[in-house]
Structure 1
Amino acid sequence: MTRRLGSGSLVIATHNAGKLKEISALLEPHGVKCLSAGSLGLPEPAETGTTFVQNALIKARASAEASGLVALADDSGLSVDALDGRPGVYTADWAERQWFEGDPGRDWYMAIGKVEGMLQEKGADAPRSCAFHCVLALAWPDGEYAVYEGKAPGTLTWPPRGTMGFGYDPVFVPVGREQTFAELDPAEKHAISHRADAFKKLVAEQFG
């Protein structure tokens, strides 16, 4: 039997206010008060793993050890079958601007174009199947942990469509839909997303 989280405070291993808000809303009905690693002044560990599970655990364990509280981290990304699972854990890195480009933010259109360019090099018959992945890792200060994996399968389209998503959403068409994630109503997207799939598993085991 997996250890139960229960009510109380939980550190979300992120410095992103948007992600904290999203996760807090999902856990609030279960009596969980979420704090961000950023608000506690916790450092961001280097994500040196080669899988989503490894990176999620690195972040969760670092926050749990530094805060003395249970911590939750997620790691997510896109894997493209014809590209041998890339960009995978490097999904965000493919959108990273270089220092000489002047803007330290992410250029997602550049990343989308890189994926499309690599697919074009494979030829017109290259499969366009792909999936978004999300791994949620819970870590307790004493070293115990639990992992939940979510997946949203789909295909890549070109050119990009829609304005309501972010990242690779404008080129991702989920299975069973004709619209991209960026064309879907946000509530509909969140209901079928890879993160929603992982959270359903976490809630079922931790609070079910």
Structure 2
Amino acid sequence: MSTQTSDIKWVLASGNKGKLKEFSDLLAPLNIQMIAQSEFNFDGTIFEEAIEDGLSFVENAIIKARHACKHTGLPSIADDSGIEVDALNGAPGIYSARYAGDACDDKQNLQLLLDNMQGKTNRAARFVCVIAFMRHETDPTPIICQATWEGDLLLEPIGEGGFGYDPIFEVRDLKKSSALLSKQEKNAISHRGQAIAILLERLKHLGY
């Protein structure tokens, strides 16, 4: 399809400013304007946020993308991502963003994870990202892209960059926390960066 990419507007099925910044940066080659769904009153005043009742990253990504398409009329990108810890049988997993409770923030989630890892010698963990792109609410063939980023959990937070669990996630090859990486370094190797790279290739084949 031939479209002026400068006029393309997609909604990101999230109000997370960190995610919006990462997606905007990584999709810059297509000159797509990403708009957070929070700009469309997904705060309960007009629309409720999607109910993430899926049992996998894939299910939740599709649920969020479809919900955003339905209420905005725009193509939507949703990602469901989190951290899996081997010593905790894959937890927090799909519950990473609300690990310490629905009303808790990143620091509380991070601290609970550190608390639950006390005394455990296996620190292996990975970030997982599943991205779903839907052209419209009834899109029968959403694009699904998945990637992982292997690492180990640190004993305490190091670094101020990034968001979520970045300060306690040590990148194995670099031997430093994700929170110490520059934006360019992180985008090149992160789970989300890898998944978006796959998405970019898929979109190019569609003519974007």
**TM-score, normalised relative to structure 1:** 0.83
Shift of 1:191: 1.8
Task: Provide the C-alpha distance between the structure 2 equivalents of 1:41 and 1:113, rounded to a whole number of angstroms.
Answer: 31
In structure 1, how many angstroms separate the alpha carbons of the residues matched to 2:10 and 2:56? Answer: 24
TM-score, scaled to structure 2? 0.83
Report the CA distance between 1:61 and its aligned residue: 0.5
| Aligned residue among 159, 173, 195 for 2:170 | 173
Q: Secondary structure at the match of 2:180?
A: coil
Shift of 1:68: 2.6
Q: 2:134 aligns with which of 129, 134, 139?
A: 139
Q: How does 1:1-16 map to 2 (within 5 A)?
A: 7=5, 8-16=8-16
CA distance change for structure 1 residues 186 and 30 in 2, over 3 Å: closer, same or farther? closer
Instruction: Render the CA deviation track for 1:44-78: whole Å, top value 9, x for unaligned.
Output: 11111121111111110111122232111111110
Mapping for residues 15-54 of structure 1, pairs under 5 Å: 15-42=15-42, 43=47, 44-54=49-59
- The answer as to whether partners of 1:15 and 1:37 remain within 8 angstroms in 2 is yes
Q: Distance in 2 between matches of 1:177 and 1:11?
A: 34
Tell me how far apart the structure 1 counterparts of residues 50 and 118 of structure 2 sit (CA, whole Å).
36
Change (3 A) 1:95 1:186: farther
The two structures, once aligned, show a CA RMSD in angstroms of 2.3
Match of 2:150 in 1: 153
Which residues in structure 2 correspond to 1:89-100 (within 5 Å)? 89-96=94-101
Q: Which of 181, 188, 200 is the aligned partner of 2:197?
A: 200
Check 1:31–1:186 CA distance in 2 against 1; reply closer, same or farther (3 A cut).
closer
Q: Tell me if 1:59 matches 2:54.
A: no
Structure 2 match to 1:100: none
* Fraction of identical pairs, as percent: 35
Measure, in 1, the Cα distance between the counterparts of 2:193 and 2:150.
13
Q: 1:169/1:146 Cα in 2 relative to 1: closer, same or farther (>3 Å)?
A: same
Structure 1 residues 39, 202: CA separation in 2 closer, same or farther (over 3 Å shift)?
same
- Matched residue of 1:46: which SS? coil
- CA offset at residue 129 of structure 1? 0.8
**Structure 2 regions of 5+ residues with no counterpart?**
none
* Structure 1: gaps of 5 or more residues: 98-103
Q: Which amino acid aligns with 1:143?
A: D
Measured in 2, the distance between the counterparts of 1:191 and 1:18 equals 16
How many angstroms does 1:5 deviate by?
10
Alignment-derived partner of residue 101 in structure 1: none
Give the Cα–Cα distance (whole angstroms) in 2 for the partners of residues 176 and 9 of structure 1. 36
Q: Secondary structure at the match of 2:39?
A: coil
CA separation of 1:189/1:17 partners in 2, compared to 1, >3 Å: closer, same or farther?
closer
The question of whether the paired residues in 2 share the 8 Å contact of 1:5 and 1:206 is answered with no
AA at the equivalent of 1:12 = L
Report SS of the residue matched to 1:120.
Answer: coil
Contact 2:114 2:156 in 1 (8 A): no
